[in-house]
Amino acid sequence: MVKLLRGILAATLVLLVVLSACADAAQKPLVEPEIRAAVERLLAEKQAATGWEISIRQLSIPRGVATSVGTREIEIIAPGGWSGWEPVSLALVVRVNGRVEKNLSLRLLVDARADMVVAARQLAAHTVLTADDLQVVKHEVAQAGGQPLARVSEAVGKKLRAAVRSGVPIRAGQLASVPVVVSGQLVTIIAENGGVRITVAGRARSSGGIGDLIRVQNLLSHKEFPARVLDSSTVEVGF
């Protein structure tokens, strides 16, 4: 009887080993290149939307993960508020034959670079910027902070609120408009629409720099309305 029980136990163990081996044979490992390719597709979409150059700096990938054999699809899901440059936890969803088998987490660090306007040299506070003061370079988004400008034209003619070191990005919050139209001065008011252009004499009722909206008064009708400053003597309204 003892020998019989031992024989049954041995046979059972052999069967379990065989079943385990069969189960392992029916599993397909989830390999790093497969996951990395899916993450790179996500970054390509983000790059297309932002115009940045984005690449993987560090990616934590779970080891020893396998799925059943079949048609496998990998989806990488980023949080809705992810801007594309800060460290982030991603969801890794693996489907086999259309059914979700794995829902894992990845940790991603990226290098994101974008065209930014930077100081071409040390610039003092209250400097009224010209094109010669600025240049556009690729810069780390993570190091820029605030709202860095992408075009030189966004800064030219504006005044720095504080000093900026050479090579440092210029942010929108660092700039102040330089009034080119002052309250009380006479201006030409231009209105254009569909090829029709009307000009009338007006008077500024507030001050502003190029691109700013100010209040102006039509000298004929005496009506006041907002207009955008084009230069030191001209403003524009839409109609």
Q: What is the pLDDT along the chain (239 residues), one digit of tens a residue?
A: 555 445 554 545 444 444 444 444 479 999 999 999 999 999 999 889 888 999 999 999 888 899 999 999 999 999 998 988 899 999 999 999 999 999 999 999 999 999 999 999 999 999 999 999 999 999 999 888 777 899 999 999 899 999 999 999 999 899 988 899 999 999 999 998 878 899 999 999 999 988 889 999 999 999 999 999 998 999 999 87
Residue 9: φ, ψ to 5°: -65, -45
* pLDDT of the residue at 8: 54
CB count within 10 Å of CB 201 equals 12
Is 8 in a helix, a strand, or coil? Answer: helix
Domain 186-238 has CATH 3.40.50.1820: no
The gap from C-alpha 104 to its chain's centroid, in whole angstroms, comes to: 25
* pLDDT of the residue at 23: 43
Read off the tokens for 15: 């069967």
Strands 99-119 and 72-77: unpaired
Helix H or strand E segment including 79: none
Q: Could you tell me where in the chain the CATH 3.90.1210.10 domains are found?
A: 113-177
Q: Could you tell me where in the chain the CATH 2.30.30.760 domains are found?
A: 186-238
Exposure pattern of 49-85 as b/e (b: 16+ CB <10 Å)? eeebebeeeebebeeebebeeeebebebebeeeeebb
Query: Would you tell me which CATH number, out of the four given (3.40.640.10, 3.90.1210.10, 3.40.30.10, 3.40.50.720), belongs to the domain 113-177?
Result: 3.90.1210.10
Beta bridge partners of 109: 58
Nearest Cα to Cα of residue 59 among 35, 30, 95: 35
> Could you tell me the sign of the dihedral formed by the alpha carbons of 17, 19, 22, 24, in that order?
negative
